[in-house]
Amino acid sequence: MPELPEVETVRRGLLPAMEHRRIDLAEVNRPDLRWPLPPRMAERLTGARVEWLGRRSKYILADLSTAETLIIHLGMSGRMLVSGEVPGVFVRDHQPVAKHDHVVLTMEGGARVTFNDARRFGAMDLVATSGAADHWLLKGLGPEPFDNAFHEDFLAARLARRAAPIKAMLLDQRIIAGLGNIYVCEALHRAGIDPRRPAGNLTAAEIARLVPVIRRVLDEAIEAGGSSLRDHRQASGELGYFQHSFRAYGREGEPCRTEGCTGHVTRVVQSGRSTFFCPDCQR
């Protein structure tokens, strides 16, 4: 499933085609994705202007001139692809509507934004902008990793006396929003912290080291266009390439990339998910 860097990469790719532009025509080609689509969705979107295009955790948010917000979740295989002419960015010919093109937005100026989702694990909803933060998909999310509210004192307080593994705590969206399996593995490797350690056992120095490492990993991944392992593509259709910079994730049996370490990356399963780490330098 796309994590924060992949969703942020898609959001940035959509900005020139969508933000401050009117949706001239919205076409909804099926009644549901993971869940039923909102009633009269095409009618409610057509003619609306996108005032702001943002992101919360792994969700793209489009605030509309109609005082509604379109919430978009890419799910496992969802893609938001832009075609047509986007001034100063690119010109890409429109393709015929394909089988899994479930929502198509023709934007002011001629660009087309297509939501394609072969497995239909994605989702869209329309909610009053004034109440968007209380939507059930967004309510209860922790701070964003780049927000001032996420700092070492905050994290230390949330981890205190917790027996759960540190990896599980970082995956908890109520503690920090947007992190997933890939970037937690990468951050813990760079911070030299064993993902199996009880979260409450981390020292103040380790927590202070972990916070900026999380931000740095996410920053680098966003600049690289995210990680394309299966379905992720940027809004331009291009692949991300951060997977070529992985130091832990997916590298089972390979030499550790930490300078001076002679260990090898190991894989274990935690809560049904693969965890990649180096037992020699992650303590």
| 50-56 β-sheet, strand order | 50-56, 59-64, 68-73, 123-128
- Residue 201 DSSP one-character state: G
* 223 catalytic residue (yes or no): no
Separation CA 103–CA 192 (nearest Å) = 44
Q: Examine the residue annotation and report whether 38 is marked as an active-site residue of this protein.
A: no
Q: Which of 20, 16, 121, 131 is nearest to 72 (CA)?
A: 121
Per the DSSP assignment, residues forming a β-bridge with 53 are 62
DSSP type of residue 259: T
- Rounded to the nearest 10 degrees, the angle between the axes of helix 204-223 and helix 4-18 is 40
Catalytic residue among 2, 5, 16, 195: 2
Q: Which residues does 84 contact at the CB level (< 8 Å), separation at least 6? A: 17, 91, 92, 93, 94, 107, 109, 110, 111, 112
The secondary structure of residue 78, as a DSSP letter, is: -
Residue 246 contacts residue 233 (beta carbons within 8 Å): no
Q: Which residues contact 220 (CB under 8 A, 6 or more apart)?
A: 242, 245
User: Residue 220 catalytic?
Assistant: no
Indicate which residue of 162, 220, 273, 279 is catalytic: 273
Per annotation, catalytic residue among 3, 68, 186, 206: 3
Q: Of 21, 58, 190, 233, which residue is the catalytic one?
A: 58
Q: Give CA–CA dist 146/121, Å, rounded.
A: 27
Is residue 273 part of the annotated active site? The answer reads yes
**Chain mean position to CA 177:** 9
Q: Which residues are tagged catalytic?
A: 2-3, 58, 273
